[in-house]
Amino acid sequence: MERHEEIERTIIKNYRGRLWAPFVKALKEYELLKPGDRVCVCISGGKDSMLMAKLFQELKKHSDFEFDVKYLVMNPGYNELNFNQIKTNLDILKIPAEIIDTNIFEIANSQEKGSCYLCAKMRRGALYKLASDLGCNKIALGHHFDDVIETTLMNMLNAGSFQTMLPKLHSDNNEGMELIRPLYLIREKDVKAWAKYNDLKFIMCACRFTEACSIDNEINTSRRLTTKNLIQELKKNYNDNVEKNIFSAASNVNMNMILGYKKDGEKHSFLEEYDEE
């Protein structure tokens, strides 16, 4: 058995309950994949998107309906170390990804302010265009369960709003294109465990501003890491179910007990129906 086959085997055998099962569950529960879909699996080079690509390869073998998959690596201007690591992993894992070079990092990093926002916006825009050029109607991103709960908490603490990361979204500017998150129910610790078990090394950060944390280096001073640590502290000192409760809260909103909400850009207050009750 070749190495890529051994790695594929661990997904179905060793990590079936922690990776394969929640992957399939998310696809079914949130209706992320339908017959005839053409999915662009976007690979950033990190552990999550690489695993997602392998999961889709396995799904192609076992699915009971037809769909197509394109594997895409959009190179925004990775440094040589990161780029070589990505290409090495594509070869090890036998992922037939198309690599398309762009100069997004160069443009974004030339700006004095708002470079992170500009970079994210440009990368997302480029992905939509490239996916469309490939004839795809869906873009798959590698956000997992921990990303979801961290985003939910970050919005509460930093933006003063309760909004989560949805498992799928229609594109506002690209008609017929949909963004899906197939790793929605997969825990980050299980992705790390799978990578470690198979002795795989992935890039951690690609941004020019954070190249100090290039390959398998946990150095990160972002708000997301701060939020991640906060969740662990809450779990340790408050409740073992904190992570699950944050996740569940987004689908268990009691509309009778909130001050207000926003729908399609329009604000609503509990006062609108208060006297009627």
* Domain ranges across the chain: 3-219
Does residue 212 surpass a pLDDT of 50? no
Q: Which of 57, 45, 26 is nearest to 168 (CA)?
A: 26
3-219 has CATH 3.40.50.620 classification: yes
What was the pLDDT predicted at 121?
A: 85
What was the pLDDT predicted at 214?
A: 44
Distance CA 188, CA 165 (A): 16
Q: Under a CB-based contact definition with an 8 Å cutoff, are residues 216 and 202 in contact? A: yes
For residue range 8-40, list pLDDT tens digits in order: 999 999 999 999 999 999 999 999 999 999 999
Which SS3 state, helix, strand or coil, does residue 158 take? helix
What was the pLDDT predicted at 213?
A: 43
Q: How confident is the model at residue 207 (pLDDT cuts 50, 70, 90)?
A: low
CA distances from 181 to 142, 145, 149, 272, 276 (A): 6, 10, 14, 35, 40
For residue range 118-173, list pLDDT tens digits in order: 888 888 899 999 999 999 999 999 999 999 999 999 999 999 999 999 999 999 88
Does residue 217 surpass a pLDDT of 60? no
What was the pLDDT predicted at 204?
A: 78
Q: Under a CB-based contact definition with an 8 Å cutoff, are residues 37 and 137 in contact? A: yes
What was the pLDDT predicted at 115?
A: 67
Q: Which of 183, 76, 91 is nearest to 125 (CA)?
A: 76
What was the pLDDT predicted at 208?
A: 56
